[in-house]
Chain A
Amino acid sequence: MNMGETALAESLERLGERPMILKRLALIAMVKQDVNTARVYLGALSKTPFHVDWANAYLKLLDSGADLSTDKRVRHLTSLTMENDYGFTGYQPERILLDLLDKNRYNHLAFEYLMAWYLLTSQLDKFVQNLHRLDDFDYPQIPPLYEQAILVHQVLTGKKVDLKGRQISPQTYDLAHRFSIISTSEDATDRLTAMRLTLRDFGDSYLFYFNFGDLGIAK
């Protein structure tokens, strides 16, 4: 919430008093139970032509002294807010995302950002350690990029990852097999050639990203 507030305060200064920014800042203030700040943002928003009703509805709610947690949006955002306070100067994704998941293990966005962060930074040990969190969400199957990363981890460590009954799809095995054949073929004389050979069919895969440290062209 505080990082959002910082980003929005920056936007407000750079872009001006845009309703979209004021609206979010008002919401953040209400999530933080800072009624006086929320009132001012809502007051500013109530002077804009298309958001006056939204602002006035919340001002009325604040005037009534009602518990803000009765508001669905505020309650939802409150459930996602970090409680662990510490000082920061820049974005520290891993620590913040883990704190968010500590607060609310069902914070889907925090989970996906965390896993994406591990994949982007090739921290596959940590990625694998957090696979158990898949159980907290409603995934019909393991996301394909995760499956590819699991296979990469298995190859690197020589250890099978416990997927708690989940299965890696035959398509991913097949993709990995084909990628392995092409990237290790005689034609792939060096890294650049291997990259070129796999670019078309595997450019949007994690296998490609992990091996070449770049994103290819989607098929």
Chain B
Amino acid sequence: MKKHCFYISAFAAILLLSALLSYSLPTRQLRVMDEYVSVDKAPRIRPDYTETFIPPNIAPLNFLVKEPATQYLVKIYSTTGDTINVFTKTPAIIIPIRPWKKLLTANRVGKLYFDVYARNKTNQWTRLKTITNTIANENIDPYLAYRKIRSVHSSWKRMGIYQRNLQNFDESLVLNSRFHGGVCLNCHAFANNRTDKMAIGFRSSKYGSSALLVEGGTAKKLGTKFTYTAWHPSGRLVAYSYNKVNQFFHTARSEVREVVDLDSLLAYYLCDSQTVKTSPNLSKKDRLETYPAWSPDGRYLYFCSAPILWSDRDKVPPQHYDEVKYDLLRISYELEKDQWGDLETVLSSEDTGLSILEPRISPDGRWLLCCMSDYGSFPVYYQSSDLYIIDLKSAEQTGRFNYRRLDINSDKSESWHSWSSNNRWIAFSSKRDYGLFTRSYFSYVDEQGKVHKPLILPQKDPAFYDSCIKTYSVPELVTELVKVRPETFGRLIRSPRKIAVDLPVTMATPRPEAPPGYGPYQERE
């Protein structure tokens, strides 16, 4: 027993000594590093955390220094507070979280500097040009919900919706294949950036196509399929699109996959009466309606609409699929009377020359952010898809919806954007840095609507994205964690019990598509 205690004590002593040594090493090395040569060259770092706006509550922006060296020192500092020194023999700069948070909190609206020093084989230290970022005043919503899936083509085995604490590196599960045995999880949607009202659509050959709805923390299953969903700000109804989605492939294009809605309409679910309705203006026989988005006052439903260019609504690919361009429309709505008003064209594809998709309005109602691409309905697959912004306040005054292409666009696809609850941050998906592998990015939006250079969702391991073959799509900013447990969602999916609601059959109602497993090429990011 004594011998055992001795070994434990010795082991503890060694650990303590190692800790002390590792703590003192940087200081000793720093003294050695007093001599260095400054060079007029910006260090290459990956991910690119340079000249960005940083949320003051974001997790450390760990990065890799892509300069050859035997040792690295990075000094992180701002106007006030202690400098953080990261000394390492590898290019991975792992920033300690506590001093990082302290530094950011103390320096809102200030600059954040990274001084990178590199030592070469002859022990010569070089100081590269200082990297500068700006710490924003406003926090970003603390959580991000996204779907993780491989870059799948026809079938899938593993997919899940996850939520990430943006203030650290914790990721937790909302729902994945383990709990539902392989259903396809569609887009997740939240009301007012909160999770007490949320929806998840799913499709399954075994369990059918339904929607999971959370109200007041309680989850239930609806007997109707949601594709793209938008909660009314009151939380009393959900507008959603019902799409006959089909996927096909390209023989020679860089992005192999293509998605087309052969038919679609908009409907809405009234939570109190548990009924589904539509309106003639939301479900025209000769048009494709999709991507609903409510104005924050709940008075308008914005959505996208395009003429159907094919007579055969089963043929894939349909005729002229690459000529379909969606307009941005809106329709007024009176909640108390459940009454729809007149339809207005907000922005016509004829004017823009582009297909207008995925409208999302800032919670203060000032800005409408959307995608525009050369054609089609599925921006994440289009290299041409860029983000555009419309000043709705200005439009109210002038009657003209002027749009502007954002400077932050890349030559790759940008899509799936969402707003933070304080209007100052957007999250979006982009293929700018990792090819097929969509990642989530954040950008600061100032009061004038200028959208600043984005930063990628930080990871603990700065090399994480370099070998991650999963895509991160549909990033939704939320202020709280999803409280319903994955087991509960899973049980609901598997359960035969659901709230029976029937989609009203109109002349425009698409015929139900075959569930996954029966028809190929249905999966998409």
Contact = CB atoms under 8 A, between A and B. Distances in A.
A and B together in one complex: yes
Interface string A80-123: 01111111111000001001000000000000000000000000
29 contacts: A1-B252, A3-B251, A5-B256, A6-B256, A10-B153, A10-B154, A12-B150, A12-B469, A13-B152, A14-B155, A14-B157, A29-B435, A32-B254, A37-B436, A39-B435, A40-B468, A44-B469, A82-B251, A84-B251, A85-B252, A86-B250, A87-B248, A87-B249, A87-B250, A87-B251, A87-B321, A88-B251, A89-B317, A89-B520
B434 interface: yes
B434 A36 contact: yes
Interface in A1-40: 1-3, 5-6, 9-10, 12-14, 17, 22, 29, 32, 34-40
A50 to B, nearest CB: 16
B433 A36 contact: yes
B333 interface: no
Interface string B219-257: 000000000000000000000000000001111111010
Contact of A85 (B250, B468, B469): B250
A144 B469 CA distance: 47
Q: Is the interface of A mostly helix, strand, loop or mixed?
A: helix
A5 B251 CA distance: 10
A196 interface: no
Interface residues of B, number: 35
Given A2-B256, A29-B435, A10 B316 contact: no
Q: Is the interface of B mostly helix, strand, loop or mixed?
A: loop
A89 B249 contact: yes
A99 B251 CA distance: 10
Contacts of B367: none
A83 B252 contact: yes
A32 B433 CA distance: 16
Contacts of A34: 254, 435-436
Nearest to A59: B466
B515 to A, nearest CB: 17
A5 to B, nearest CB: 5
A127 to B, nearest CB: 23
Interface in B316-337: 316-317, 321
Contacts of A44: 467-469
A89 B316 contact: yes
Contacts of B258: 87
B469 A41 contact: yes
A46 interface: yes
Contacts of B317: 87-89
B521 A2 contact: no
Interface in A33-60: 34-41, 43-44, 46-47
Given A13-B155, A34-B436, A40 B469 contact: yes
B278 interface: no
- Chain A to chain B: the 6 pairs with minimum beta-carbon distance, closest first: A37-B435, A43-B467, A36-B435, A87-B317, A85-B252, A43-B466
Interface in B416-453: 431, 433-437
B224 to A, nearest CB: 27
A18 B449 CA distance: 46
A6 B258 CA distance: 12
Interface in B252-269: 252-254, 256, 258
Contact of B252 (A22, A29, A81): A81
Contact of A2 (B150, B251, B463): B251
A6 B253 CA distance: 12
Given A36-B435, A40-B466, A40-B468, 8 more contacts: A1-B252, A3-B249, A9-B152, A13-B153, A13-B158, A88-B251, A88-B317, A96-B251
Nearest to A39: B466
B467 A47 contact: yes
B88 interface: no
Interface of A: 1-3, 5-6, 9-10, 12-14, 17, 22, 29, 32, 34-41, 43-44, 46-47, 81-90, 96, 99
Given A85-B253, A89-B248, A96-B251, A40 B155 contact: no
Contact of A88 (B151, B152, B248): B248
Contacts of B521: 89
A113 to B, nearest CB: 15
B154 A2 contact: no
Contacts of A87: 248-251, 258, 316-317, 321
A6 B249 contact: yes
Contacts of B153: 5-6, 9-10, 13
B156 interface: yes
Nearest to B156: A13
A41 B256 CA distance: 17
B156 A85 contact: no
Contacts of A88: 248-251, 317
A96 B156 CA distance: 26
Contact of B157 (A13, A47, A84): A13
B429 to A, nearest CB: 15
Most buried by B among A81, A90, A96: A90
Nearest to A82: B252
B458 to A, nearest CB: 18
Given A5-B256, A89-B520, A37 B437 contact: yes
A99 B434 CA distance: 30
Given A9-B153, A14-B155, A37-B434, A2 B250 contact: yes
A38 B435 contact: yes
A42 to B, nearest CB: 8
